[in-house]
Each structure stands twice: as C-alpha cells, then as structure tokens.
Chain A
Amino acid sequence: MDTDIQVSPGAMFTETALDRQKRRIEIVVRIFLLVVTSLMIIPLLLIIGYLLYKALPVLSFEFLFTNPKDNMRAGGIWAPFLGTIYLVVVSLLVSAPIGVFAAVYLNEYARENWFTRITNLAVVNLAGVPSIVHALFGVGAFVLFARLGESILAASLTLAIMTLPVIIASTTEALKAVPMSFREACWNLGATRWQTIRRIVIPNSISGILTGVILQVSRAAGETAPIMFTGAVFYKAIAEGDLFAYNIMEQCMALSLHLFTISTQVPDVTEGIPYATAIMLVGSVLLINAVSIALRVYLRTRKKW
C-alpha cells in the first residue's frame, strides 16, 4: 500500500493544475505530520540528555550502593532503591496472579453478555482511576480498615490494584493471539478446559503474559502518589548491601518519593544528586520497558503460527 501512493493517478494523463495542487498539499501534509511525530522524540531525548548531563558528576556504582548520607545531602540511593524493589516485588506477587487469572477468565471463560461487558468496563475504569484516588483507597482500605498501618504491605497492595489493569490488558492480548484451533484440537483429545488453558493456551502465550508483567513492574516502580500515604517514609536507615533489610510490615523509603523529597524539602543537596536519582528512576523504568519491548519484538519473529 505504501508504494503506490507515489504514483499519482493523474500521471496516466497530463498533469492538470488540480493534480499539482493535490500533490503539493500531499507533500506539505506528509512533512507536517512527520515533523509533528518527530517532535515527540525530542522531549524524550532532551529529558534523558538533560538529566544525564546534570547527573554525570555523581553517577557511579557507589551511588547505587550507599545510603543517603550527611542529612540526605550526599551519598547514594541504596535505601530508597531497595525500598522500591520491595514495593514492586510484593505488588507483583499480588497483581500478577490476579491479573493473569482475570485475563484468563475474560478471555477463556466469560460469555459475551452484559456481565462480561461490565467486567471489561470495570477493568477500563480501574485503569482510569487517578493515582491519588488509589492512594485514598489505600489509606481507607489497607492502612485503616485492614489495620495494616503504613507499611510496605499496604503500599504494595495499593500499587498492585493500581497496576492490575496493565497485566489484564496485555495478558488478554496475549491469550487472544493463541489461535482458536489450538484449543479445539486439545478439547478434542478430551482435555478439560483448565487442562487446555494450562497445557496449551498459557504456554503458547507465556511470553506475551511476561511482557505485561514486566510492564506492571515498570509502572509500579515509578508511582509516587499511591505510596506517599500508605507506606513510604522520608528517611529510614538500613544496612547497606543487605537485601533483606526491610520488613514488609514496616515502612520503607522509595526512589520516587525520595526524588520528590530531595527536590522539594531537603536543603543544600549536592547539585547532581536529584538528577542522578531521577536518571536512576527513569533509567530503571525505561530499561524494564525496553526489555519488555525487546521480548515482544523477539516473539513476533519466532511466532509459530
């Protein structure tokens, strides 16, 4: 389809003024749209470039593995970084199974009726609920009602619910991509529905499901508002290098909140540190996303059907 646009239909005949005008408009439109689209690359590059430029003086491995020091004016990001990992992992443990099962239900079990429509609508709406409302929900449901207090668990549960739609959406995509004939073949061999799902549908879509799970991780790692009031603290000293330094019933620092506090509340922070924290946050999130994209592209090339 892309090749034949070059050949204006008018080329068969002599070019009229109208044809010329049409062609000119076409060129202008193309250039305009190309520019508009390309303009979106600029902020991405600009932001990463700017942050990196400002962050370079302090970026190092040591930055990642030392705690914030000297009244958070110096040092690194170990405690918040580890906290973010805790939050992400715990939220993943909750949202991945629920999300995958929910998608399995929507795709394999649900019939096309009003109830399924409402369920789908609920998924869409859950994705649309503002993050700060999730925070309020986290406070109301987990911190107060469930008496979890402000803790890693409460914050992670809030994050899990918030990121659930990401997993549901991409898992549904992945399940849909498995051809119906696969299932039919399996059923004809006498397998039950669950056996079919477990033996045929999930193995054939596992990489697509993984993509969604990875996206959830990236989403959860970057969120600030939902954890501000449910479990993240301003400061907490933990042992450097100890991966099990946090207890999930206690609070933790988090990279995103750390960036917020050092950029608005802590005076005299060493120039590069907020930028380095930002680049670590963006870097890890983009890296996780890149993995997910790479996985998806790789899968498409080796698709069996």
Chain B
Amino acid sequence: MNILRKKSAANVPFSETVIETLIRLCGVSSIIFVFGIFFFVFREGAGFLFNGLDLGEFLTSPEWYPTSLNNKRYGTLALILGTFSVTTLAMCIAVPFGLGAAIFISEFCSPKLRETFKIIIELLAAIPSVVWGFIGLTLMNQLIIAVFNAPIGLTMLNGGILLALMSVPIIVSIAEDALKAVPDSYREAAEALGATRWQVTYRVLLPAAKNGLLAAVLLGAARSIGETMAVLMATGHSVNIPSSPLSWIRTLTATIAAELGEVARGGEHYQVLFIIGILLFTITFVVNLIADLVIKGIRQQ
C-alpha cells in the first residue's frame, strides 16, 4: 500500500523520528539478512573455494572422500543427483495431489468444506521435519520393506514421499491463490457459453493461472531441495548415483547436517561443507527468483 501523504517536518516529535528510523531499519533487515547469510556462509568457505578446490571435480565427480587419509576427493555429483532425484520424485507425487487439491478447494468446494481442507493442509504444513524423519525411519521404513519387498526401507522413495507430503501444503496454498486471482468474469463468461465447471477449469482457469501454478510447483521444489532432517533420517544416507526409487541416496543438505558436527573448524572438509551451503543457497535463490519473476509476470498481464 502506497502512502502518498507527505509528513510535515514541523509537528513530528523527536521520538517519532527515532521510531521511523527503526521501522525503516527493520524494513530493510530482510535484505541485510539475505546478504548476511550469503556473506557469512561464503566467508567460512571462501578460502578453499578460491584456493585449492577443483570446482570441476567438485561438481562432476561422484567421489566423495572428505576424510581419506592420503587422497581426499570432494566430488558432490552423487549428492547433487541425490538431491535432484529425490526432489523430482517428490514433485511427481506432490504436483498432481497439490494441484488437484488446489483446484478442488478453489473451484469445486462449498465454502465450509474449503475452510476445513485449508485448516487440514495448514496443520499438515506445521508438522516438524524431524517428526517426518522419525516417521520415515519407523513407519515408512517398515511399509516400504513390506510393500516392495525391498531389502531396506530407507530409500529415495521413502524420502520422496515424505518430501511430497511436506511440499504439498505450499503447492496447494500458492496454486489456490493463483486460481483465485483469475477474475470471476472469466468463469462467468465461460459458464454462460454452456461450459461445465470442469471445462471452465480446464480450458479457462488453468491456462489463465498457469504462471501461478508453475510458481507453486517451483516453490514446492525449493522446499524439497532445502529439506534436511527428513532426508537425513529417511533416505539411507549413502553416496550413490541413484538408479531407481528403491536405491538409497544422500542429499546435499543431509551431508552438511551429518558431517558438520565432526569436522575440525577451518579445515578443508569444513570449508567444503560451507561451499555446499553456498551451492544450496544459490540453487534455492535461483528457484525462488524464477518463481517470483513468474508471479510478477502474472501481475503485469
């Protein structure tokens, strides 16, 4: 909301000037923090990033041997693939469910039912990730062993399902906003032509809201990429090029969480973990930026 009123300097007391300064300071705090995060994570990892780390090997080698005694190798390819495969799997599950639910809630629901569903989805979003991890370690592990006859239940599938459940609420809420943002006149026009509710949705609303829906999916994916505890506990934590949903994998986030606790501060391994942090920060930053641009695209239309 844009305030056009000019303040007259004469009748503004000193305390107000102080408070306004403070408000402005807090207002830009988010910018400071985002830069701060990048700066401090970068600061810890920079030494090795510019001096010693073979960036090509870092991104393309699957050999993650940070503690080898005579041949340390810091290849994160397996970890990157781990992160992306589990995210992709999660999105394959979450997108149909998330968009389906968003369409249902926004277009096919009575207001009362809509409220109920929205509350449930909000509660689903509130479950802490360590609890999801615990579920993965206990319940899901046994389920996957029983259903797929797999030797071990701590797999990409396990993590993928958990991540899907964790990102569905985000997808639903953003997708629903996007659908709601389509003017009612679109719906009315289509219905006047004799279209059924589904035809209206499929032919009119989805194309009109496609940017918002895309943003919803992107933000859901960003959430999955950044998730830590659930994948640490549920995916098997194994440096492996993933080959099937039942293979056990390791993600970038889980690697930091598992190894940061035990590295000597300032050492190469420690710095590499921070470089992975920079990588993660960059990935999620870019995804969020794209999502934002996509949403901005809608507003300009």
Which A residues form the contact surface with B (CB < 8 A)? 1-2, 4-5, 8-10, 22-23, 25-26, 29-30, 32-34, 36-37, 39-41, 43-44, 47, 50-51, 97-99, 101-102, 104-112, 118-119, 121-126, 128-137, 139-141, 144-145, 161, 164-165, 168, 175-176, 180, 183, 187, 190, 192-195, 218-219, 221-225, 228-229, 256-257, 259-260, 263-264, 274, 278, 281-282, 285-286, 289-290, 293, 297
Complex Cα distance A182/B287, Å? 39
Which residue on B lies nearest to A9, using beta carbons?
Answer: B194
B69 in the interface (beta carbon within 8 A): no
Are B285 and A125 in contact, with the CB atoms below 8 A? yes
Contact of B260 among A43, A139, A193, A282 (CB under 8 A): A139
B198 in the interface (beta carbon within 8 A): yes
Are A44 and B29 in contact, with the CB atoms below 8 A? no
Contact of B274 among A136, A190, A257 (CB under 8 A): A136
Contact pattern, B 185-222, Cβ under 8 Å of A = 1, otherwise 0: 00100010010111100000000000000000001001
Chain B residues near A51 (CB-CB < 8 A): 131, 135
Nearest 4 interchain pairs by C-beta: A105-B27, A222-B128, A130-B226, A101-B26
B72 in the interface (beta carbon within 8 A): no
Chain B residues near A183 (CB-CB < 8 A): 3
Which B residues form the contact surface with A (CB < 8 A)? 1-3, 5, 7, 11-13, 16, 19-20, 22-31, 33-34, 36-37, 40-41, 43-44, 96-97, 100-101, 103-105, 108, 110-111, 115, 117, 119-124, 126-131, 133-135, 137-139, 165, 168, 184, 187, 191, 194, 196-199, 219, 222-223, 225-229, 233, 253, 256-257, 260-261, 265, 273-274, 277, 280-281, 284-285, 287-289, 291-292
Are B127 and A5 in contact, with the CB atoms below 8 A? no
Chain B residues near A222 (CB-CB < 8 A): 126-131
Are B131 and A293 in contact, with the CB atoms below 8 A? no
Nearest CB in chain B: distance from A59 CB, A: 16
Question: Is chain B's interface secondary structure helix, strand, loop, or mixed overall?
Answer: helix
Are A5 and B285 in contact, with the CB atoms below 8 A? no
Are B274 and A140 in contact, with the CB atoms below 8 A? yes
Q: 13 A–B contact pairs at CB < 8 A?
A: A10-B194, A101-B26, A107-B1, A135-B256, A136-B277, A140-B40, A144-B44, A165-B30, A183-B3, A223-B129, A225-B253, A259-B131, A286-B126
Are B124 and A43 in contact, with the CB atoms below 8 A? yes
Nearest CB in chain B: distance from A51 CB, A: 8
Are A194 and B19 CB-contacts (below 8 A) given A44-B123, A222-B129? yes
Are A119 and B261 CB-contacts (below 8 A) given A40-B97, A124-B292, A130-B225? no
Are A125 and B100 CB-contacts (below 8 A) given A33-B108, A105-B24? no
Complex Cα distance A211/B264, Å? 42
Which residue on A lies nearest to B199, using beta carbons?
Answer: A22
Are A123 and B128 CB-contacts (below 8 A) given A130-B225, A136-B256, A193-B20? no
